A and B are shown apart, each in its own frame.
Chain A
Amino acid sequence: MALFKLARKNAYAKPGRFLLTSLAVLIGVALTTAVFVFTDSLRETFGGLSDDIESGYDLAVRSEIPFGNRLNAAPIDLGLPEELSKIEGVVAVQPRVIEFGIVANKADGSAALASRGPNIGINWEDSSPTPRLFIAEGRPPVSITEFAVDIDTANDDNFVVGQKYDLQTPQGLRNLVLTGTFTFANPEENASIGSKLIAMDTRSAVELFNSGVGYDDITLTIESSYAEATIVKNVEDMLPSGLEVLTRSDLVSEQADTFNEFINIFRTILLVFAFIILFVAAFIIYNVFSIIIGQRIQEIGLLRALGATGKQITNSIVTEALFVGIFATVTGIALGLPIAFGLQELLAALNFGPDENSLPLRPTTVIVGAILGIGLTLTAAVWPALRARSISPMAALRSDSATAYTIPKNFLAGSMLTILGLLAIVLGFIIDEWLFMLPLGVLAGIFLFLGLSRFSNIIGKLSFLSLGMALLITALTADLSTSMLMALLGAAALNSFLGINLLSPLFAGRVTYFLGLPTAKLGVPSKMARRNAGRSPERTATAASALMIGLALVATVSVISESLKATVSEILEEDVISDWWVQGESLGPEPLGFSPTITAEIAALPEVKEVLAMQLSDEGLRTVVDQKVKRVYSADLTSISKYFNIGLSDKDESLIGNNAIYLHEDEAEKYGVVVGSTLEVEFVDQSQRALNVAGIFTSKSIIDSGWLLDSSVYASNENLVPKSDDFVGVLVRDGVNEQSAREAINAVLEGYEQIEAKTKAEFEDEAQDQIDQTLTVVSVLLFISVILAVLGVAITLALSVFERTREIGLTRAVGATRKQIKRTVRVEGILVALFGGVLGVALGLIFGMACVQIIPDDFVSELAIPWGNIFRNLLIAGVAGSLAAYFPARRAAKLNVLDAINHE
């Protein structure tokens, strides 16, 4: 292609500018690559481990659970192993027990808690030809007064074979002798990846960990000459209902699937951040290329005079963008690997996850990186490249040619594009999937812009913003699923960004003028700075756009988190009545439960008036009519109101004690029940019950799922877990002060480090802290995009200084000092940054408030705006603008006066 060489030379002519331009895309691609590599490595590592952990057997027999957490499944009958061993071909039968939360206390009484994984209690596998546990020191435990621990825990926590230690079990605290230490899955090396393992002999494990009810699963080893499928069939034939048999590979892949689900969510969240950075990068590319073309108007005019067609010019610029894109992609992917490594190290330092490092670079990762890096750069450069087409050859001869690109009027094309835009929106609503609504919403905006511009330029420019506002209003008023509403909000935000970006040149001049008035005291430099910012409003607006996006996101996030904190405060203030709150640490969707014996001990304290034990089961039951799995709480319904205010609007206490349940009014409406009705449900062990609705309540602030079972329901079914308590509310006797209450309760909890008693105030503080922590992490990631935007401002300023070389020379010649020139550039930097900041914060507030409105009330119900934060961010924007201007200002001040005046 004719201008290929020119494109290449233009791209590399100024290496500094080339690097800076590609920097933003580079970082975006690097982060995306790092996320993929990191999550791929996690998957690999886990896959390997899973294989190790489930090794040494061929088949597994376990309970069928129609839904819910496997840990809550009904235990297997104690007589089954004998029946299984009678099957021909079965060489070994190994029953297994596994229970979370089994913690040994160290010699000093403190709990040996695992920090990088769970605490697990298992049985010693002595019936398997290939056991998973290998003795390292001492001997395996054989009676209920003995236990063994994994070798790493023994070393880390100073467990000595032969000594006695306390063990926390669901049956309470037991004092046992440590008979030996072992390694897991590998005779040489312990493969327990950060979790701590306690082993007891099988019978004792069943009694202490599973309350004597049964086994958790049974593994079978088959003689190699028998066909696996035949044995499977034979086992299936003799299994009682409610049990199933799996091959080992089935089990391993099932575990891999579960882990993959979790990894994918993790990956999605990280990718969102990477994409935000890429979005900002696109703005930077767009801005830089617009400026470059503006600078090269004469050169382009010359090429046109010499016979280059508009298409050749456009292609040349697109090629230049391609160079930037390719460089950014290749470097970005290369950089992604060390970043992934860093992420792995970071996680290991936080004591989370395995210790290994692998950096798998799959072809998919490279392809995605290439599409993003190159595709984004090209897309961002396309518009300026197209505009360059309109540069006439006369531009080479006259220095005042403007590049105002107006889209030619074309009613046919205009109407078609507008209709396409409207169709896109309608399609989004019809498909009703958030994943489609988001891109369709943005596509609609683009089509509407292209279409309406062919009728009138102004209407075209307004189209993005109008669509954005229309979608915002729809999101606030329509009755759709939360995910759809959020997608609408997202599309509204993106359209609004694009819209404001298009329109901001119209008011950039005036706004920057007013923003700059406080600096008027600095005299002429300030006036020049204010005028300059307004002189090329397009450039000011685009440079500020990137900053606007970054700050808008930060503002939105802080509004949401502040509101979340306010909601939590509100809830705890109004709805929590109990003085104290005892809870185990969080283990995912359910907290770590503790033995009811602890609850009983607290209740027995002289300082305590009464307690309320509550249990939580994340997938506790399933409604028969619509097969929906529900998160259920259970407690003694008669006492609830003394501890919490759930807004009971209607109740019939006579029904309590007979499969009673309190339902939230939304759930009651959904199932068409009132006080006195019945509701059929199925539990994890496949047993069914007709629950009696004994009350309707209005507040979901504590019972977020809306399902509150009476404690008698679980108590009456031996198969049902939880057998442990998850929360205990404590009412203290009159006259007992906080200090004495705390001492008394903590005395009971001694030896159970992972369970804490908190007052209402402490509970609230902890909740606020958690929210703050999450906010900090999110903000750090967002600030990366802000930093990039500031970089964009710096580049713009540098190029603008270059463009005004002659003018700066003139100003110096007539008496401006270097310092005054520096000041001008710095003030301009601050103004551009503040312009973006003010717009960003305004947008962020609007969308933040809309988010809070949309998020269901049981999650966030109060609106709170962190004004302090907002103003601090604006201040930071201003400072950032000043910093961005530092080097350009120095360059400007250093210009030699005569050279500058004679500059072309």
Chain B
Amino acid sequence: MNSLTNSLDLVAARSSGATKIYGSGETEVRALDGIDVAFPKGRFSAIMGPSGSGKSTLMHCMAGLDDLTTGKVFIGDTDLTELNERELTLLRRSQIGFIFQAYNLVPTLNAIENITLPLDLAGLKADEEWVDEIVEVVNLKDRLTHKPNELSGGQQQRVAVSRALASKPEIIFADEPTGNLDSKTGTEILEFMQLATKELEQTIVMVTHDPVAASFSDQVIFLADGQVVGDLEDPTADGVLDQMRSIGN
């Protein structure tokens, strides 16, 4: 257990001995090698590492998108490894929010329809006040009826962020959310994510390889070769960069 473990009811998601192996024998690849992590509620956490470190794989497994070879993964008190396909789907619908690097939105739906999509899937009505507040915060009020191809990259990501927030999930997973954006727009998105954790009490876990993006988070976990190799509280971009360099050696 690392030093970030708090008492269990303040943990939004955690893993225990998470291992994922591709291939076998000679060609075996251990994408995840016995990882124990815990992400506290109400905090903006980042998972960092060079490519091939297993950070995306870890996120996918913790979000129920992919399955582990051995080990366990929990969202709240629910053990994901015990759930079947359908139960995982329902979990993703109600408890988990997603922001991807690219291809975040359904092209034939407009912005507001994309934002309420997970709720529509569950057959639930959106909390109108809540959605209005989010839209206000991310500044999308006049773009709600536009389709994704009528929005800029930054606007699309803002819609994705709004969608992730709209269903008030237990935890939001973001996979390189600013990877395709210029630095100014990227900064905006990261600031929104900070806002979400502080003002709207969300829990966000972000995977990134960009130290500047990581500096927006409350704490960073470092991964290399499928294992946790370090952590940093209240990171700065330089601090993250230093730690990354030391890992590399």
Contacts and interface: CB of A to CB of B under 8 A. Distances in A.
B106 A304 contact: no
B122 A307 contact: yes
Interface string B142-186: 000000000000000000000100000000000100000000000
A767 interface: no
A13 interface: yes
Interface in B104-160: 104-109, 113, 117-118, 120-123
A307 B118 contact: yes
A306 B103 contact: no
B109 A6 contact: yes
Interface string A487-516: 000000000000000000000000000000
Interface stretch (A122-130, A149-157, A393-401): A393-401
Contacts of A904: 102-103
Contacts of A392: 65
Interface in A386-419: 392-394, 396-397
A6 B108 contact: yes
A10 B98 CA distance: 23
Contact of B100 (A5, A9, A396): A396
A298 B91 CA distance: 20
B175 A306 contact: no
A397 B108 contact: no
Contacts of A6: 106, 108-109
B113 A5 contact: yes
B82 to A, nearest CB: 18
A393 B103 CA distance: 13
B117 A306 contact: yes
Nearest to B63: A305
Contact of A299 (B98, B106, B113): B106
Contact of A9 (B66, B109, B120, B175): B109
Interface in A288-324: 298-299, 302-310, 312
Interface of B is mostly: helix
B100 A397 contact: yes
Nearest to B98: A305
B162 to A, nearest CB: 13
B103 A302 contact: yes
A13 B118 CA distance: 21
A5 B92 contact: no
Nearest to A307: B93
A397 B106 contact: no
A20 B190 CA distance: 45
Nearest to B65: A393
Contacts of B229: none
Nearest to A13: B108
A394 B60 contact: yes
B109 A397 contact: no
Given A393-B92, A394-B60, A394-B65, A303 B106 contact: yes
B86 interface: yes
Interface string B77-100: 000000001100111111000101
A306 B118 contact: yes
Nearest to A312: B121
A308 B103 contact: no
A814 B123 CA distance: 50
Given A9-B109, A303-B106, A397-B65, A2 B122 contact: yes
A3 interface: yes
Contacts of A3: 120-121
A2 B120 contact: yes
B112 to A, nearest CB: 12
A152 B24 CA distance: 94
Name the residue in A9, A305, A904 with the highest tally of chain B Cβ atoms < 10 Å from its Cβ. Answer: A305
A356 B189 CA distance: 74
Interface in B192-211: none
Given A305-B98, A393-B65, A9 B60 contact: no
A661 B109 CA distance: 83
Nearest to B64: A393
A306 B92 contact: yes
A13 B148 CA distance: 13
A299 B65 contact: no
Contacts of A5: 109, 113, 120
Contacts of A397: 56, 60, 65, 100, 175
Nearest to B90: A307
A259 B147 CA distance: 61
A300 to B, nearest CB: 10
Max chain A CB contacts within 10 Å: which of B66, B90, B102, B108? B108
Contacts of B56: 397
B104 A302 contact: yes
Interface string A797-818: 0000000000000000000000
B2 to A, nearest CB: 27
A298 B103 contact: yes
Contacts of B108: 6, 9-10, 13
B207 to A, nearest CB: 11
Contacts of B94: 307
Contact of B106 (A302, A310, A394): A302
Nearest to A306: B118
A310 B90 CA distance: 11
Contacts of B60: 394, 397
A10 B107 CA distance: 9
B123 to A, nearest CB: 6
Contacts of B121: 2-3, 303, 306-308, 312
B118 to A, nearest CB: 5
B65 to A, nearest CB: 5
Contacts of A393: 65, 92
Contacts of A13: 108
Given A5-B109, A302-B106, A396-B103, A309 B118 contact: no
Interface in A612-671: none
A394 B92 contact: no
B65 A305 contact: yes
B89 A309 contact: yes
Nearest to A303: B106
Contacts of A394: 60, 65-66
Nearest to A304: B89
A307 B106 contact: no
Among B56, B98, B102, the most chain A Cβ lie within 10 Å of the Cβ of B98
A394 B60 CA distance: 8
Contact of B107 (A299, A306, A308, A310): A299
A309 B86 contact: yes
Contacts of B102: 904
A392 B67 CA distance: 12
Contacts of A9: 108-109
A9 B117 CA distance: 14
B66 A306 contact: no
Nearest to A311: B86
A3 B105 CA distance: 14
Contacts of B113: 5
A820 B94 CA distance: 52
A55 B186 CA distance: 91
Contacts of B106: 6, 299, 302-303
A321 to B, nearest CB: 16
A299 B148 CA distance: 13
A306 B93 contact: yes
Nearest to A298: B103
- Which of B86, B89, B90, B105 gathers most chain A CB within 10 Å? B89
Given A6-B106, A307-B94, A904-B102, 13 more contacts: A5-B109, A303-B106, A305-B65, A307-B122, A308-B93, A312-B121, A394-B60, A394-B65, A396-B103, A397-B56, A397-B60, A397-B65, A397-B175
Closest 5 CB pairs of A and B: A307-B93, A9-B108, A307-B92, A2-B121, A393-B65
Interface of A: 2-3, 5-6, 9-10, 13, 298-299, 302-310, 312, 392-394, 396-397, 904
13 contacts: A2-B122, A6-B108, A299-B106, A299-B107, A302-B106, A306-B117, A306-B121, A306-B163, A307-B92, A307-B118, A308-B121, A396-B100, A396-B103
